[in-house]
């Protein structure tokens, strides 16, 4: 038994620690320190803040530029409106003066013509019929002179074929001759133009071809023709 106890004591002595683990006392730092290191791949806060500040500054500058451009555009629009109003007023004044220059001769001559007619009318009771008829026949000539003095021209289109640009057909006349189709049949009234612009087209009548058409004269001749046959 004593041998077993001795053996047991030897075994236990092998597993006992030589020194007890000492807890570190307060105020004493451990000799081994874990070094703190930043996480790999994490952004630098200072650089991020710097980029944000730069972005804000850039946005502020853009807002200032936009405001300046807007104010400049408003100023330009106001200037353009003022310029347009001024040009419109000048154009209206020019148009009024031009109209007065164009119409002044016509108005003055019309007034003189009216005065002459009033003078004639006041003496109708003392004029003979032949003299009155002479004055009446002279009225168209007086009016034509008035128009000619103001640039109005009386014309007749000399072409044989109807011209819709200078003539107006008031009636068509049927014909059985194809070569007469669209030819002017009769000139009813002259046309008038001013500075090359047609004011009133020439009034005409126009032939229109109709196959198998017979004029009243031709029909009358056919009805009165008699063939005598003597056996």
User: What is the fold, at CATH topology level, of the domain defined by 153-222?
Assistant: Nucleotide Exchange Factor Grpe; Chain A, domain 2 (2.30.22)
Tell me what pLDDT residue 60 has.
85
DSSP 8-state symbol, 224: H
Distance CA 208, CA 46 (A): 99
If DSSP codes are grouped into helix, strand and coil, which group holds residue 153? strand
Distance CA 193, CA 198 (A): 4
| Pairs from 54-60 (Cβ < 8 Å, separation ≥ 24) | none
Tell me what pLDDT residue 31 has.
47
The domains of the chain are located at: 52-150, 153-222
Give the number of other CB atoms < 10 A from CB of residue 158: 7
Tens digits of pLDDT across the chain (231 residues): 555 555 556 555 554 555 444 554 544 444 444 445 555 555 578 787 788 888 888 888 888 888 888 888 888 877 778 877 888 888 888 777 777 777 788 888 888 888 888 888 888 888 888 888 888 888 889 999 989 988 899 999 989 999 999 999 999 999 998 999 999 999 999 999 988 899 999 999 999 999 877 766 666 655 555 444 444
How many residues comprise the chain?
A: 231
- H-helix or E-strand spanning residue 173: strand 167-175
If DSSP codes are grouped into helix, strand and coil, which group holds residue 36? coil
Phi, psi dihedral angles at 162 (to 5 degrees): -60, 130
Q: Check: CB of residue 177 under 8 Å from CB of residue 212.
A: no
Q: Nearest 10 degrees: CA dihedral of 129, 132, 134, 137?
A: -120
| CA atoms within a 13 Å half-sphere pointing along the CA-CB vector of 127 | 14
Distance CA 12, CA 1 (A): 17
Tell me what pLDDT residue 14 has.
53
């Amino acid at each position: 038994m004593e041998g077993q106890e001795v053996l047991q004591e030897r075994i236990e002595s092998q597993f006992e620690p030589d020194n007890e683990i000492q807890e570190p006392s307060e105020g004493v730092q451990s000799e081994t320190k874990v070094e703190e290191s930043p996480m790999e791949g994490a952004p630098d806060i200072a650089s991020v803040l710097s980029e944000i500040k730069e972005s804000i500054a850039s946005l502020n500058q853009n807002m200032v530029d936009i405001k300046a451009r807007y104010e400049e555009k408003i100023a330009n629009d106001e200037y353009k409106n003022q310029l347009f109003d001024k040009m419109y007023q000048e154009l209206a004044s020019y148009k009024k003066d031009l109209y007065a220059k164009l119409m002044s001769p016509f108005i003055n001559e019309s007034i003189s013509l009216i005065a002459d007619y009033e003078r004639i009318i006041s003496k109708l009771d003392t004029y003979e019929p032949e003299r009155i008829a002479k004055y009446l026949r002279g009225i168209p000539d007086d009016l034509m002179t008035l128009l000619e003095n103001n640039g109005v021209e009386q014309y007749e289109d000399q072409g044989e074929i109807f011209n819709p640009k200078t003539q107006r057909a008031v009636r068509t006349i049927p014909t059985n001759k194809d070569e007469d189709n669209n030819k002017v049949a009769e000139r009813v009234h002259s046309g008038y133009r001013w500075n090359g612009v047609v004011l009133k087209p020439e009034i005409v009548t126009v032939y229109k071809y109709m196959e198998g058409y017979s004029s009243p004269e031709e029909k009358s001749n056919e009805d009165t023709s008699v063939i005598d046959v003597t056996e």
